[in-house]
Amino acid sequence: MRNSSKALFTTAAVLGLSFLSAGAQMSEGATHGKTTFDSKCAICHSADTTDKKIGPGLKGLYTRGVMADGTTKVTDETVTDRIMNGKVPMPPFKDQLKPAEITELVEYLKTL
């Protein structure tokens, strides 16, 4: 009885860990988006906190549902527009990033 309880616990723990690691993996697009974030965005924005650097921290952006201005709804379209066109003090990135890079960046922001 004791051995079967131990085996059951071990199996449950292994399965639980495998689900956690599967959830932690990002898609290829999100991985590319993280690279873009690290090179273009991280100087002003944090990915792992909501604390402000120069711009707002972006952790949980899609969970919060509104941009830092408190009124603009967070959608793929509004986030893409903000990246492309900026909003003072954030500069526009439409001339620095290709459309595919912006799409991947949005995909990454959804993982935060």
Please check whether residue 9 lies inside any domain of the structure.
no
Q: How many structural domains comprise the chain?
A: 1
Please check whether residue 18 lies inside any domain of the structure.
no
Specify the CATH number for the domain of residue 68: 1.10.760.10
Answer whether residue 3 shows pLDDT above 60.
no
The parent domain of residue 103 ranges over 27-109
The residue among 3 and 12 whose pLDDT is bigger is 3
Please check whether residue 79 lies inside any domain of the structure.
yes
The tens digit of pLDDT for each residue in 45-96 reads 999 999 999 999 999 999 999 999 999 999 999 999 999 999 999 999 999 9
Please check whether residue 21 lies inside any domain of the structure.
no
Per-residue model confidence (pLDDT) at position 81 = 98
Please check whether residue 54 lies inside any domain of the structure.
yes
| DSSP code string of 62-99 | HHH-B-TTSSSB--HHHHHHHHHH-BTTBPP-TTTS-H
Answer whether residue 8 shows pLDDT above 80.
no
Please check whether residue 63 lies inside any domain of the structure.
yes
Please check whether residue 32 lies inside any domain of the structure.
yes
- Show the tokens assigned to 110: 């959804």
Instruction: Supply the pTM of this predicted model.
Output: 0.78
Residue 41 is inside which H or E element, if any? Answer: none
Please check whether residue 72 lies inside any domain of the structure.
yes
